[in-house]
Structure 1
Amino acid sequence: MVSGGAPRRSASEEEAKALASAIRVRILRLCLNEELTNKEIATRLDSNPATVLFHVRKLVSAGFLEPQEARSGPSGAYEIPYRATGKSWQLNLDSRDPRMRSAMIGAFVSEVGQVPASEQVTISRLGIRLTEEGHARLLERVQNLFDEFEAEKPPEGSTHYSLFLAVHPEGRPGAEPTNTTAT
């Protein structure tokens, strides 16, 4: 469920393709709480503005980013800032899709890699045995917790945090591994 109680829906092929890129997931995170121009996004990602613009256009086309009112930049140039629409929060994404796994894990690894060593990164890992019903109950409770925090209006001066959760069956000896390497 998403805030307001509306059920999540499956992503269209265009939406799934748009989110199957670590850089596009990172762009959405950057534009979630503030409007950023293509140049500002490229600077924060330490990336080429032309490459970033390609990704921004894909996200706009799929409805994940919205262009905001144009403004004059520092040198007087015409700039268009972008803001995330929150649409990605309303989708069920097929986590069995290796592209989606790679994009989400790649974005997480990149973001954690940018946290200064002086800052705390809390990491927890738990091995647990669950029935199918227990697994479904765990996922529902975690999703409800995510939805609850997503729906809250952050107080002035609050700090931005990111939370990444992966619930997966343990690999079994002799089982074919799934490629989850970010590209």
Structure 2
Amino acid sequence: MTEILLTLFSAALINNLVLHWPLGVDPLLAASGRKQVHALGLATTCLMLVVGTLGYLIEHGLLTPTNLVSLRLLAWLSLSILLIAPLLRLLARWLPTLPFDGLWPLLLGNAGVLGVTLLNSQDDRGLGHAMALSLGAGLGFWLVLSLFDDLRQRTSNNAIALPFRGLPIQLISAGLMAVVFLGLRGLVKT
């Protein structure tokens, strides 16, 4: 149980997919507005959990026994694409106050979903570990998305030199956030 909690904590904070491994940076830079950020964070967390878990089950239940491991990427990509629309409809029905309308392209272009599934296949420690890694990665993405949106709102009202306005200050801010999250590595000794 401790190992699963450590995996969840590590995936959310220490080995964050957006900051440690630059996966899912495109939705990070595209999302704006508090409600859209939380809608994207929730949808990405749910998608990572479902695709990561089902991808692990498909690999170990279907692809590995039949020696079709070379089709992993095709299976995971198809699974990810097919689950986006039903997941967004379900979340929109469940939480009608959040704007899930324009999130399909952001979820489709999020490489973090496939990255989690790939990490689950590399670290073959069981289904519980795969679920914890997927949930932790989704929660870490949501945390970074929320922090980055707050930082973006704070920098939009400040006097910033003209060459640094817009995307340059956002990339510098993301780099500084990555350094801060890198400082959390000292918390866990392996």
Q: TM-score band, normalised by the shorter chain? A: under 0.3
Structure number, greater radius of gyration? 1
Counting strand residues as a fraction of each chain, which structure ranks higher?
Answer: 1
Counting helix residues as a fraction of each chain, which structure ranks higher?
Answer: 2
TM-score (normalised: structure 2): 0.25
Q: Which has the higher contact order (CA 8 A, sep 6+)?
A: 2
